[in-house]
Amino acid sequence: MPFVTVKIARGHSIEKKRRLVEVITNALVSVLDTKPEWITIHIDEFERENWAVNGILHSDRHRGKHDETGR
């Protein structure tokens, strides 16, 4: 029974999350030769202010760029 945790920044639409879990599920079914009903996927969302690259918070680096649709 595969259990996958995906960590993404908060703000992606429900449609994108649906597509994400569909693609991951299909990949696991194909690669692991398992049944889709045995696959569990957990989406762990974090705030952009809690993520930094090269010493700069993502929320500062991309201020105003991201809206609630994750763009």
Catalytic positions: 2
Residues in the chain: 71
* Structural tokens at position 39: 């696959």
Contact indicator for 16, 45 with CB cutoff of 8 Å: no
List the end-to-end C-alpha distance of the chain, in Å, as a whole number.
Answer: 33
